[in-house]
Amino acid sequence: MNNDCFAMPPGVKWLPVDEAIYRIQSNLEPIGKTEEITLGEASGRVLAESISACRDNPAMSNSAVDGFGFSFASLSSKNELELEEGYIAPGIIPDEPVPMGKARRILTGAPLPKGVDTVQLKEFSKIQGNLLQFDYKPKKGANTRLAGEDITVGDLLFAKGHRIRTHDIATLVAAGIDTIKVHPRLRVGVLSTGNELLQAGSSSDPAKVFDANRPMILALIDKFGFTPVDLGMVRDNRKEVRAKLDEGASSCDLILTSGGASSGREDYISDLLTREGDLNFWRIAIKPGRPLALARWQSTVIFGLPGNPIAAFVCSLIFGYPAMQILSGQEWKPPVGFMIPAAFQKSKKAGRREYLRARSNKAGQVEVFGSEGSGLTTSLAWSEGLVELGDDIRQIEKGALVKYYPYSSFWT
């Protein structure tokens, strides 16, 4: 491991990944503002208060099928009843009960009148004159939906901090909810720093690099369900960096910077945040990654990400996403990973966590990209997720079970 640029020098204290995530959780809290919105705007929003049902669902017991309604107690041993004229339709409360020994036609969703506790499907029934005959005797309560069997007034539907999913909206509507109180959409700014950066599409200069981080992270924020704010690029100039931080603080709840967060001569992000902010600079036992800055600028939270694209991407997933969830009012939920046999073998340094760009293959194994370089953007295009190798793991053999996180597990 002597040629490992991520190797941890002796005597330097490195922060474990879990401890870094714990510090993020402990030092951040939701943005205080709230707003009331209609359900048409609800998908993806985070509840600022718990929601309880204000209506039973169903509000009245009703028929689950088209058929014939009657009292189970009145069904004779011959499985036949006298059929009344007329029918019971949805949306109308029946005003006439069904007498014992009789049945009445009923349509799906129609409220059950007094005297009806069971419904038989029309497909299993036949009519002989004014007699209704059944092929078999149904169970009591068959084909009915009881009032409140799904939702009862006062039931807790969703707790504070829950992020509304599209399929949650049906439950809200059924429970009589039409507006909800939510946190504002989190506004996340992205700023790239460095004299070496070029805007995508500009004339090429072999001494410079295109700014791949900012478009990638902006797209990632949108995928997370937050509002991305493009703060552009800034040169390594103290005055210009300060102006960009001021701009971001006035329009964003969180700023992600890439580059300039280390301790080099032109790392003005870390220099300004140290002098004028409240910078916490962490050397995290992670590969790719390591340097991560957490600070506030005029009360706006700032994350200083590494400059290499892969490290910036991984740190956005592992550290940035938990911070965004907490600031947006959500409870952070770790992504769900899967144990999958490795299609590779690898030795690693003990005491640090590693994330390998990976994808599953047709054999049900997980492959990793051939190189671990933090500047190889093609490895992201090739991959479909990350393999996580725990802090204490030293050796992985082919066929060993490893933890695999599809990228989608970070934003679902």
User: Checking DSSP bridges between strand 209-210 and strand 280-283, what pairing results, if any?
Assistant: unpaired
Token representation of residue 63: 């028929």
Q: What is the C-alpha to C-alpha distance for residues 327 and 325, in angstroms, rounded to an integer?
A: 6
pTM value is: 0.85
Token representation of residue 260: 């300039």
Q: Does domain 62-145 have CATH number 2.170.190.11?
A: yes
Which strands, in side-by-side order, build the sheet including 67-70?
118-121, 67-70, 102-106, 80-88, 131-134, 125-128
Which residue type, as a one-letter code, is found at position 312?
A
Domain ranges of the chain: 17-26+185-327, 35-57+150-182, 62-145, 338-410
In the three-class reduction of DSSP (H, G, I as helix; E, B as strand; rest coil), residue 152 is classed as coil
Q: Which fold has domain 17-26+185-327?
A: Molybdenum Cofactor Biosythetic Enzyme; Chain A (3.40.980)
User: Checking DSSP bridges between strand 187-193 and strand 227-234, what pairing results, if any?
Assistant: parallel
Q: Roughly what angle, to the nearest 10 degrees, separates helices 238-251 and 268-276? A: 70
Q: What is the C-alpha to C-alpha distance for residues 410 and 412, in angstroms, rounded to an integer?
A: 6
- DSSP letter string, 18-65: HHHHHHHHHH----S--EEEEGGG-TT-BBSS-EE-SS-BSSS-EESS
Q: What is the C-alpha to C-alpha distance for residues 317 and 387, in angstroms, rounded to an integer?
A: 13
Per-residue pLDDT of the chain (412 residues; tens, 9 = 90+): 344 444 445 556 789 999 999 999 988 999 888 999 999 999 999 999 999 999 999 999 999 999 999 999 998 778 899 999 999 999 999 999 999 999 999 999 999 999 999 999 999 999 999 999 998 889 999 999 999 999 999 999 999 999 999 999 999 999 999 999 999 999 999 999 888 888 887 777 888 888 999 999 999 999 999 999 999 999 888 899 999 999 999 999 999 998 755 555 556 777 788 888 777 878 899 999 878 888 899 889 999 898 899 999 999 999 999 999 999 999 888 999 999 999 999 999 889 999 999 999 999 999 999 988 878 899 999 999 999 999 999 999 999 999 999 999 998 7
Neighbours of 202 (CB within 10 A): 11
Is 198 within 8 Å of 209 (Cβ atoms)? yes
Across the strands, what pairs with 189? Answer: 229, 255
Q: What is the C-alpha to C-alpha distance for residues 176 and 153, in angstroms, rounded to an integer?
A: 9
pLDDT in tens, 223-262: 999 999 999 999 888 899 999 999 999 999 999 998 755 5
The sign one gets for the Cα dihedral 406, 161, 169, 147 is positive
- Please name the CATH architecture into which domain 35-57+150-182 falls: Alpha-Beta Complex (3.90)
* Phi-psi region at 154: left, alpha or beta (left = phi > 0; alpha = psi -120 to 50): left
SS (H, E, C) 104-133: EEECCCCECCCCCCEEEEHHHEEEECCEEE
Q: What is the C-alpha to C-alpha distance for residues 349 and 35, in angstroms, rounded to an integer?
A: 48
Backbone angles phi, psi at 37, to 5 degrees: -135, 165
In the three-class reduction of DSSP (H, G, I as helix; E, B as strand; rest coil), residue 281 is classed as strand
Across the strands, what pairs with 360? Answer: 366
Pick the CATH number of 338-410 from 1.10.10.10, 2.40.340.10, 1.20.1560.10, 3.60.130.10: 2.40.340.10
Query: To which residue do tokens 């190189």 refer?
Result: 371
